[in-house]
Structure formats: structure tokens, C-alpha cells
Amino acid sequence: MSPPIVDLTHTLHSRIPIYPGDPPFASSCATCVPKDGYAVAALSLGSHSGTHIDAPAHFLVNARTVDQLALDELVGRAVVLDLTSIASEKKAISKAELEEALERTWLQAAENREQMPMLLIHTGWSRYWDSEDKKKYYAHPFLSRGAAEYILELGFKVLGVDTLSPDETRLEDEEEGDEDAFIVHMKILGADGIIAENLTNLGVLGDGDGWMVHLVPLKIESCDGSPVRAFATRD
């Protein structure tokens, strides 16, 4: 039997994978109990460190920032699509593959989709989060343009992935991307949606039936995103 609460968040530490060019995460002691009588940590991180959400302002000018997102947008029921059987390094996931995965879930009726604002993509790639081979986590599967457009057609407002990005991640020593380099971000955020990245433990949720997902960000004024404590509770 699954637990009543499932933690969907990776632990932040100095070795976490970060998107190429983003600020690294660091935590150090500003004060300590033996010397100062109390402990305070000094934190340094980017707004997209670890398990986090992207607000529309991440890619769009004059779009909503993380402090402008309503909590009821970030707490809700979710459909979890299991794509572990097809997930492989740098694989583009197509619209057809999403359709096939959706047919295997309990969600069919169009009227139910309005009650399911979140779509979570389970590739199993979170197992490489702490991999000694750092490039393994960066070589994650990603969504195609058609898949992103299909997600919007279905009416989902929040897209969550257990990878570094729903788009392909290219390292500095790899060839430059094309016009579709950030197409999923542009499609989802351009529709005033929200993206959650670096989720974990999605396999525990099955197809999502019976779970409420919580993506709780810091309320940072005018910021493009925020680390979250993501978790799921029994509905």
C-alpha cells in the first residue's frame, strides 16, 4: 500500500545538476551554535535550482511572475503518464506516444479533464539525479512540438516532468539548437501555464488517480520561478 504522503522533491545539495549557465547551489554556515549560540545558513541559488516551477515570466516579457500565481493553480489533481517503457537518452516523445499513454490511464471523459489541471510525465529519469556520470541526467528524454501542442489541446494548465527540462538540454560542447530548442517552454508558458521540473517519485502515484499534488513555491516578488516543496497527498 502506498503512503498517505509522497515526497516529489529532490534534496538540494552542492552536487545537484543545474541547467547549463544557471547559478550553482551553495549552502554555508553564516553562524553556528558552538560559536554564536544559534545557527543560520547562507544560501546561494538560482530561481530554477532543484525541484522547481517556471512561471510564464521565465520566457515571456510582462508575463506572470511566481508571486502572481494563485495557490489553487499549484494544488490539484493530476494525470500521471507512465512513459518509462519508451524513455531513452535524448529521445523526443511524440504526440502519438502521449496519446497512447493517455489511453492506458483511467482518465477518458472530456468533462473529467477540466478537474485535472496537472499533467505529470513519468520517465523514470529522476534515478539519474545523483548519478556519478553527470551527463546522464542531462541526456534526458524530452517532448516534441506536437506533444506540447497536444497537452494544451487537452486543457492542462500545469506540466510536470521528472527531468531537467521538458525541452532537450544541450551542453556547451554540443551543437546549437534550432528554432524548437525551447518550444515546450514557449508553448506552455506562452499559454499562461506553469512548468514543474526535476520532480521525483512519480512512479509511486501510479496514474494519479486518488492523489492531490502540491507544488509550493517561495513567494518571491517579480521572480521568474522558484524552488518548490513538491508532494502528493491522498485525495
DSSP state of 77: E
pLDDT score, position 110: 46
The structure's pTM equals 0.94
Cell 551543437 sits at which residue? 175
Instruction: Write down all domains in the chain, each with its CATH number in brackets.
Output: 5-234 (3.50.30.50)
Whole-number pLDDT of residue 2: 73
pLDDT at 114: 60
Other C-beta atoms within 10 Å of 189: how many? 23
- In the chain, what is the greatest distance between 2 CA atoms, to the nearest angstrom? 62
Q: Are 195 and 185 in contact (CB under 8 A)?
A: yes
pLDDT per residue rounded down to tens, the chain (235 residues)? 678 999 999 999 999 999 999 999 999 999 999 999 999 999 999 999 999 999 999 999 999 999 999 999 999 999 999 999 999 999 999 999 999 998 877 555 445 556 778 999 999 999 999 998 889 999 999 999 999 999 999 999 999 999 999 999 988 756 565 778 899 999 999 999 999 999 999 999 999 989 999 999 999 999 999 999 999 999 7
- CA neighbours closer than 13 Å in the CB half-sphere of residue 214: 11
CB 158 within 8 A of CB 74: yes
